[in-house]
Amino acid sequence: MEKFIIEGGKPLKGEIRVSGSKNATLPILAASLLTDGVCEIRNIPKLRDTLTMCKLLRSLGKTVEISANKVVISGSVNNHVADYKLVSTMRGSFCVLGPLLAKLGKAKVSMPGGCVIGVRPIDLHMKGIMALGVKADFDGGYVIATATKLQGSQMYLGGTFGSSVLATANVMMAASLAHGETIIESAACEPEIEDLGNFLSGMGAKIEGHGTPRIVINGVRKLNGISYRMGSDRIEAGTFLLLAAAAKSDILVKDAQYNHLLALVDKLQSIGVDVRKDGGDIRVKVKKTLRPANIVTHPHPGFPTDLQAQYMALMAITPGVSIITDRVFPDRFMHIAELNRMGAQIRRDAGVAIVEGIKHLYGAPVMASDLRASAALVIAGLVAHGKTEIYRIYHLDRGYEDLDGKLTGIGAKVYREKE
How do residues 101-126 score in pLDDT, each as one tens digit? Answer: 999 999 999 887 544 444 457 889 99
Quote the mean pLDDT of the chain.
Answer: 94
Mark whether 313 and 371 lie in a shared domain.
Answer: yes
* CATH number, position 297: 3.65.10.10
Query: In the 3-class helix/strand/coil scheme, how is the chain assigned residue by residue?
Result: CEEEEEECCCCCEEEEECCECHHHHHHHHHHHHHCCCCEEEECCCCCHHHHHHHHHHHHCCCEEEEECCEEEEECCCCCCEECHHHHCCCHHHHHHHHHHHHHHCEEEEECCCCCCCCCCCCHHHHHHHHHCCCEEEEECCEEEEECCCCECCEEECEECCEECHHHHHHHHHHHHCCECEEEEECCCCCHHHHHHHHHHHHHCCEEECECECEEEEECCCCCCCEEEECCECHHHHHHHHHHHHHCCCEEEEECCCHHHCHHHHHHHHHCCCEEEEECCEEEEECCCCCCCCCEEECCCCCECHHHHHHHHHHHHCCCEEEEEEECCCCCCCCHHHHHHHCCCCEEEECCEEEEEECCCCECCEEECCCHHHHHHHHHHHHHCECEEEEECCHHHHHHCCCHHHHHHCCCCEEEEEEC
pTM exceeds 0.85, yes or no:
yes
For residue 41, what are the domain limits?
A: 22-221
Mark whether 385 and 304 lie in a shared domain.
Answer: yes
Mark whether 258 and 403 lie in a shared domain.
Answer: yes
Residue 228 lies in a domain: no
Catalytic residue among 39, 95, 115, 189: 115
How do residues 220-241 score in pLDDT, each as one tens digit? Answer: 999 999 999 999 999 999 999 9
Q: In the predicted model, what is the mean pLDDT of residues 40-50?
A: 95
Q: In the predicted model, what is the mean pLDDT of residues 292-305?
A: 96
Mark whether 185 and 64 lie in a shared domain.
Answer: yes
Mark whether 241 and 386 lie in a shared domain.
Answer: yes
Mark whether 211 and 266 lie in a shared domain.
Answer: no
Mark whether 195 and 166 lie in a shared domain.
Answer: yes
How do residues 176-201 score in pLDDT, each as one tens digit? Answer: 999 999 999 999 999 999 999 999 99
pLDDT score at 119: 43
Residue 291 has pLDDT above 90, yes or no: yes
How do residues 251-273 score in pLDDT, each as one tens digit? Answer: 999 999 999 999 999 999 999 99
Q: In the predicted model, what is the mean pLDDT of residues 271-276?
A: 97
Mark whether 64 and 13 lie in a shared domain.
Answer: no
Active site (annotated) includes residue 115: yes
Mark whether 237 and 182 lie in a shared domain.
Answer: no
Number of domains in the chain: 2
Residue 227 lies in a domain: no
Q: Which of the listed residues 221, 243, 259 is the one where a domain comes to its end?
A: 221
Mark whether 182 and 316 lie in a shared domain.
Answer: no
Mark whether 197 and 335 lie in a shared domain.
Answer: no
Residue 226 lies in a domain: no
pLDDT score at 350: 83
